[in-house]
Amino acid sequence: MSKYGVISIQYLTYAIYECFSSSDKKQSICKKRIRELTEDDIYTFIQTILMDKDLSTKEYGNVKTVLQGMIRYARFEKKYTSINISNFFGDFRVGKNILKKSEKTDAQKCFTDEERIRIWNTSYSAY
């Protein structure tokens, strides 16, 4: 995790924020008002992010969540757009080799002794 300004955030969140807040970015989605946005713009944006950022599954999920939240808010709360983002992501498919795999060591895959004790105590305290 890196620090950008005062708040500690993930790089991808910062990159998305910069994209949407800066008018001099190259991507067309960043220069358009939400009323002018089309599904093709969103598709192009996601494809560009996938190719440029080498995202993990979790990072892609975060991008997807932010976009869904923004479009749903614009659609249902503000009535700025008619894009159905649920249908869009329902139809959108990411190739299985596009997202990078999570690389965990054996130590990261296992519970620590402290975690085992907590799990044991939690599971048997109900009996």
Cα separation, 11 vs 51, in Å, equals 16
Range of the structural domain that residue 86 is part of: 2-125
pLDDT score of 1: 39
24-49 average pLDDT score:
82
Q: Does pLDDT of 17 surpass 70?
A: no
Q: Is 32 helix (H, G, I), strand (E, B) or coil?
A: coil
pLDDT score of 11 more than 70: no
Percent of the chain exceeding pLDDT 90 equals 29
Task: For residues 47 and 41, give the distance between their C-alpha atoms in angstroms, rounded to a whole number.
Answer: 10
Q: How many domains does the chain contain in total?
A: 1
**In the predicted model, what is the mean pLDDT of residues 83-94?**
93
Indicate whether 88 pLDDT > 50: yes
Cβ-proximal residues to 83 (8 Å cutoff; 6+ apart), any chain: 37, 38, 39, 42, 71, 75
Among 9-13, 58-62, 123-127, the range scoring the smallest mean pLDDT is: 9-13
